[in-house]
Structure 1
Amino acid sequence: MESTLGDLAAAQGGLFTTAQAARSGIKDFALARLRAGGVIFGVARGVYAMADTVPDDVVAVHAMKVRAALLLYPDARPCGGSLAVIHGHPVWGLDLDRVDLVRDGLSHEVLTQLCRIRPSDALTRPDTADRDAALAACVVQVALDHGPTAAVVTADRLMHDRVVDAQQIAQIVDRLATRPFAGRAQALVTLMDGRSESVGESRLRILLVTNGVAVTPQVPVLENGRIIARADLGVDGTNQLIEFDGKVKYGGADPEVLWREKKREDRIRRQDYRVERVVWSHLDRPKILMARLLREIGAASPRNTEPHPTTKAG
């Protein structure tokens, strides 16, 4: 029985439905026994996964829920944050409890325990086979649903990887002027910048910019006319650099990694730069972090930071 279900799940993204199990001769009472025994896991009503394949990561669980929803609603397609997740693009700040789907022919939004099913929308939920166009629209939908910071995190990576460009997103936003929450989408256009290379860098940059600090991502550091490093952020007009250390997440890092980072930082400092380091846990206390950064910036010296890139990537 277990091998039958395992083969069934393996053939369709790790999932199977009760109807498919029944066609294999495995009825509801048998599924209930397997679930009670920890062999299978209920992803949604009528959809199961083999328990040993269920991921721990909340984003990966959401991707599993998206696949489950598409088994239940094969005529639907993912939209908003769910579309970004299913394509493997980074997300942050999203409510991942429900899957966002779009179905043609609906006149209003429908909520189920698993899904938020929405009607088509030419701008934010277009019916298109063009993946890149759909992803540009999905970023705008994320802004409307979850706010600009959540959308910028995803937009930055899509722009950095040249999946979408800033113009694609801006053109959609320009046509949303009269929509509810259009200001969120307009803030997305102002804040997005494809030069940032990680979720943490994007969040740190947004925190600084929204607090009135002008910064440039990926500042080149020169030694004898040669680039020896690129700092995550440079405070414009000063010698203050800010580095986001994504390797240190709520705990320690490999001592060898820390040693290499120290040597790199020492080399940067010898070029008359100040360096302030931020780690994941600091982002959870933005008020304290911002006070510290403003103190450091206040102690920085003026510096002509040209030549820096002056246009946003993407």
Structure 2
Amino acid sequence: MYIARRQHGLITTRQALGAGLTPDLLRHLVRAGMWLRARQGIYALPGAMPSAEDEACGRLSADGRPPHSVPRRRTVPGATATGASTDAAADPSGLAVDLPGPPVNGSYPAAKARLPFRVRVRAALLARPGAVACGVTAGRLLGFAGLPQPADDEPVHLRLPVHGSRRQLEGTVSHFGPVEAGELVDLDGIPVTGPDRTLADLVLASSREDAVAMIDAALHRRLVTGLDKAVAACAKRPGARRVASYWPLADGRAESVLETRLRLLLHDAGVPPPCLQWPVTDGTGRLLARLDLAWPGEMLDVEADGGAVHELPPALHRDRERQNQLLDLGWRVRRVTWADVLRTPAKVVTSVTGWLAAGP
């Protein structure tokens, strides 16, 4: 248990046998559900794992970062930060030792999928000493918005040195290439590519719409303070020329993925909104609303109504009251949903261009 606590609830087969457990006892612990098989040769001990609240993927603190996970710059490039004991890190071959026996509660992938996200990441790193979490895995750890919904069997993305083993392990996607020391951060002992490098990696792997949405969200949440470092991290890499036009389209004022997608749709149609989050006040100077996409000269407000929040009764009441106040002030309001953008984009463009042509 002491070894597992040092490793955030994880222990390898070699470590367990070295601590005096027998293969039969290990099989019993797994069958009984007392130990969970995280991956080949690595087990998770529920009693030694951090709480689910602390390890919950995507849960953010007030400043936009995962709770209890303030990134710290790593000063020793290539060193593992999983808390693994010396024997585990020095002898990777020992991590491949596995014991036969049925998995917990059915199939092995299903049992593994029930483990908290960070536990699965730590297990993958324990199996590949010297690796760092990267790509979409790093994005989830850092609290990036705009990422696709994770599947239960989503693999862990790791970046390894070019000279390392090219063997692909089950449940992981290995990327090979250098990462500068200044591009790494430490999240509670998990080595992760930093926000700027992670943003560059994600943009290079994404479509224009998804890439700009992630850039907008990273700027809005202040995960990055500018784009110079991310753009530099893209330079001279495969795909850098393809994404070069994405960066100028970013705007950190966008508050949702739908706002970004709607802005890009109108930009491509030649009617980009001149103002985002435009403040509107009443006669006394009291703020009435911040308009998602606004053309103040034409008194046109285009609102991006995304997600279930706007469908809840309190939100519906606030939206209607706010819209009535805007109408009283002479604003014209057009509401756009995800269905509008994805299914009838031409209709959205026609509506907006028509209102602009008609004038206030």
Per the shorter chain, which TM-score range? 0.7 to 0.9
1:102 to 159, 169, 174: 159
2:291 — aligned with what? 231
TM-score (norm 2): 0.64
Higher deviation after alignment, 189-198 or 201-210:
201-210
Give the partner amino acid of 2:180.
P
- Does the CA contact (< 8 Å) of 1:65 and 1:114 recur in 2? no
The residue number in structure 1 matching 2:267 is 209
Q: Which structure has the larger Rg?
A: 2
Q: Which has the higher contact order (CA 8 A, sep 6+)?
A: 2
Q: Distance in 1 between matches of 2:180 and 2:177?
A: 6
Deviations 1:265-298 (A, max 9, x none): 2222322223233445x27x6132x133224313
- Residue matched to 1:261: 319
3-state SS of paired residue (1:163): coil
Does structure 1 residue 245 correspond to structure 2 residue 308? no
Provide the rounded CA distance (Å) in 1 between the counterparts of 2:265 and 2:118: 28
Say which is worse superposed, 252-261 or 17-26, in terms of deviation: 17-26
1:77 to 132, 142, 153: 132
Please list, as runs of the form range in 1=range in 2, the aligned pairs for 1:294-305 lying within 5 A after superposition. 294-301=349-356
Q: Normalising by the residue count of structure 1, what TM-score does the alignment of the two structures yield?
A: 0.72
The alpha-carbon deviation at position 95 of structure 1 amounts to 7.7
Instruction: Please tell me whether the aligned partners of residues 106 and 118 of structure 1 are also in contact (alpha carbons under 8 angstroms).
Output: no
Matching residue within 233, 252, 258 for 1:194: 252
Range moving further from structure 2, 71-80 or 163-172 = 163-172
Q: Deviations over 1:237-271 (max 9, x none)?
A: 6433232334516xx84312321222122222322
Q: Which residue in 2 is equivalent to 1:170?
A: 231
CA drift at 1:301? 4.0
1:126 alignment counterpart:
180
Deviations 1:60-116 (A, max 9, x none): 865443222122223211222222212222242488732222223427965332222
Tell me: CA distance 1:297–1:69, structure 2 relative to 1, closer, same or farther (3 Å): same
Is 2:239 the counterpart of 1:181? yes
SS at match of 2:253: coil
3-state SS of 1:142 partner: helix
Deviates more, 1:57-66 or 1:142-151: 57-66
Contact 2:291 2:302 survives alignment (8 Å): yes
> What count of residue pairs does the alignment treat as equivalent?
289
Q: Which runs of 4+ in 1 moved over 6 A?
A: 51-55, 57-60
Which residue identity does 1:128 align to in structure 2? G
Counterpart CA distance in 2 for 1:209 and 1:51 is 51
- Name the structure 2 match of 1:310: none
State the match for 1:221 in structure 2: 280
Q: Is the 8 A contact 2:146 2:217 kept in 1?
A: no
- The answer to whether the 8 A contact 1:9-1:50 is kept is yes
1:269–1:275 contact (8 Å) kept in structure 2:
yes
| Aligned residues with identical type, % of pairs | 27
Is 1:113 the counterpart of 2:167? The answer is: no
Secondary structure of the residue aligned to 1:113 is coil
Q: Structure 2: where are the runs of 5+ without partners?
A: 60-115, 186-191
- 1:297–1:58 Cα change, 3 Å: same
CA pair 103-170 structure 1, distance change in 2 beyond 3 A: closer
Residue by residue, what CA displacement relative to the aligned partner does 1:200-254 show, whole Å, maximum 9, x if unpaired? 43343334434544123212223235542112222586433232334516xx843
